Structure 1
Amino acid sequence: MNSVLNISAYRFVAIADPDALRARLADSAQRFGLLGTVLIAEEGINLFLAGGEASLAQFLGELRADPRFAGLAVKESWSPAQPFRKLLVKVKREIIRMNHPAIQPAAGRAPAVDAPTLKRWLDRGRDDEGRPVVTLDTRNAFEVDHGTFDGAVDWRLTKFSEFPAALQQHRGDLEGKTVVSFCTGGIRCEKAAILMREAGLARVWQLEGGILNYFEAVGGAHFHGHCFVFDERELLDAALAPVAAEPSED
């Protein structure tokens, strides 16, 4: 029985009091018995938490009472057991490290494409204006190896901070195409899309909510394999259910 609710969410928004926010959210998560990770930086918040449905609803109610997070969108999935071993609430320099301080998503997002629209584009192989569509996987290579969109561009990143240099090297390959950057939940592909726009690529979109939102909205169409997540579930299928580990060969 799937009794544990898992949530993931992020919001790029200016946070002037990251240490005070850390203390408040750590207290709230502990009171409601939640486990997982909350990252806070001056650029925003990124969280992965699991626990009882009612407890998470109360935690999110307190979080959304803060005007900075009133419209926080959350992705949900269920599992039969708690996928986290502890609660970690930390202040970081970036909620997803790119080492490119000029990129400030809170100052304005790159355009986003929703899952049904991307599926329609991939069905046709072209966008609504007839341009060829390229999906760009912004995740690490080991994540890509578990599953990705069919034909996705993969620069074999070992960490996200390598993305700016990879873009500089491969920018010409993306010219004249409609590029949709994607990742697990949306945070990496949002920064990536802004950087590509800054680099002069005119037709760049981010996949709204990443792979997890795509699975929830349209299933696994055009996606081969599973989605890696950074908790003890490790792999999710297109129904957002944990995938049993394959037996190892002796």
Structure 2
Amino acid sequence: MPDTESSAAPSVRVAALYRFTRFANHTALREPLLAICKANDIRGTLLLASEGINGTIAGSPEGIDAVLAHIRALPDCADVDVKFSAASSMPFHRMKVRLKREIVTMGQPGIDPRYTVGTYVDPAEWNDLIADPETIVIDTRNDYEVAVGTFERAIDPKTATFRDFPDWFRAQRVRLLGEGKAPKVAMFCTGGIRCEKSTAFLKQEGVEEVFHLKGGILKYLETVPEEESLWRGECFVFDQRVTVGHGLAEGSYGLCHACRRPVSDADRASPLFEEGVSCPACHAERTDAQRESYRERQRQELRAARQGLTHVGAVFADGHDDK
């Protein structure tokens, strides 16, 4: 699949990528990959597991090209899936290459999207599929992501993590699909990787007609004109842009630095919102002692910013293993 860039001319280029493959020794790949990222002043998070590579990185176009050339030279990674977008400023504070058990955590043994996966649907054909009343449309993302935007008719599983999806589906299967011949099931996620596993999971569970949006929401928002779109709202992304909209333009949401959930203008107006400390979604989840700790961290970050420094605590909690 050819790599296509957002029509905007970004000061910072963002590349979201993944590839399911089998690395014989993924741990040996970490240091060379980290070294080339640092040599090219690239920041973000990349995950390596025996099942492949996943992540989002940002930097200059030349630096991104150099890192992608390195990744494409890895075993069976010449066709790594990459989606480009733009950021007005660097959306990450540092570069991390992490070793994981899975590049997207589902926790289900025997799932291998290289061999069993749903039918890919191009963004240009997605509207017809999900507008069909005989199609069940499922958003495979987490609850806080769905809250800021989703497709018309999409079912929200209200899961806290992708690991919860299999249990949710098994519990809801009869209600969703009935007991006769199952309807078509169309699923989608941010960049496509969660759907690789969720469609493989449904196929393993015996569901025959399973489809997923090729390239994910990001490719849909990039390529489908807004006037034809069935997307409503914005799309949460796992970097400091927080959300993007049609054309992959940066969105309107901020980020709660206590819980890493998106916050809207209405959230910011709430008495439960305190910059760097709490938001309406997490205020009841934290103790007074935790909030005081967050206040101290916020004070230190503001002090560092005034001095032109990056505080060590100012690191985005990247969620690529759950994307």
Question: TM-score, structure 1 length as denominator?
Answer: 0.93
Of residues 196-205 and 100-109 in structure 1, the stretch that sits farther from structure 2 once superposed is 100-109
For structure 1, which runs of at least 5 residues remain unmatched after alignment? none
**1:136 equivalent among 129, 138, 141:** 138
- Distance, in Å, in 2 between the alignment partners of 1:24 and 1:222 is 42
* Contact 2:12-2:60 within 8 A present in 1 as well: yes
Task: Report which stretch shifted further, 64-73 or 204-213.
Answer: 64-73
- AA partner of residue 60 (structure 1): L
1:54 aligned residue: 62
The one-character-per-residue Cα deviations of 1:167-212 (angstroms, maximum 9, x if unpaired) are 1011121353211111000111110011111111111112111100
SS of the equivalent of 1:106 reads: coil
Question: Structure 2 matches for 1:67-106, cutoff 5 A?
Answer: 67-106=75-114
Q: Which moved more, 1:239-248 or 1:189-198?
A: 239-248
Is contact 2:117–2:203 with CA below 8 Å preserved after alignment? no
Counterpart CA distance in 2 for 1:239 and 1:48 is 18
- Match for residue 174 of structure 1 among 172, 177, 180: 177
2:123 counterpart residue number: 115
Aligned to 2:313: none
Q: Which ranges of structure 2 fall in alignment gaps of 5 or more residues? A: 1-8, 254-263, 271-323
**Within 2, Cα distance between the matches of 1:219 and 1:42?**
38
Q: Once the two structures are superposed, what CA deviation does each residue of 1:95-152 show, in whole Å capped at 9, x if it has no partner?
A: 1111102111233433211111112334xx32xxxx7122210000010000000110
Is the 1:43–1:106 contact (alpha carbons within 8 Å) kept by the matching residues of 2? Answer: no
Q: Percent identity?
A: 36
Aligned counterpart for 1:199 among listed residues 185, 193, 205? 205
Shift of 1:232: 0.5
* Residue number in structure 1 paired with 2:260: none
TM-score by length of 2: 0.72
Report whether the alignment pairs 1:249 with 2:269: yes
Correspondence for 1:161: 163
Of 231-240 and 65-74, more deviation after overlay is shown by 65-74
Q: Distance in 2 between matches of 1:190 and 1:153?
A: 18
Residue among 46, 68, 91 paired with 1:38 = 46
Q: Give the conservation status (yes or no) of the 8 Å contact 1:16–1:42.
A: yes
Aligned-pair distance for 1:69? 0.8
> Partner of 2:76: helix, strand, or coil?
helix
Separation (CA, whole Å) in 1 of partners of 2:158 and 2:184: 21
SS in 2 for 1:158: coil
Q: Is the 8 A contact 2:11 2:89 kept in 1?
A: yes
User: Is residue 231 of structure 2 the alignment partner of residue 223 of structure 1?
Assistant: yes
1:12 corresponds to 2:32: no
- The one-letter code of the counterpart of 1:156 is K
Deviations for 1:31-54, whole angstroms, at most 9, x for unmatched residues?
111000000101111020000011
The structure with more strand, counted as a fraction of residues: 1
1:95–1:219 CA distance, 2 compared to 1 (3 A): farther
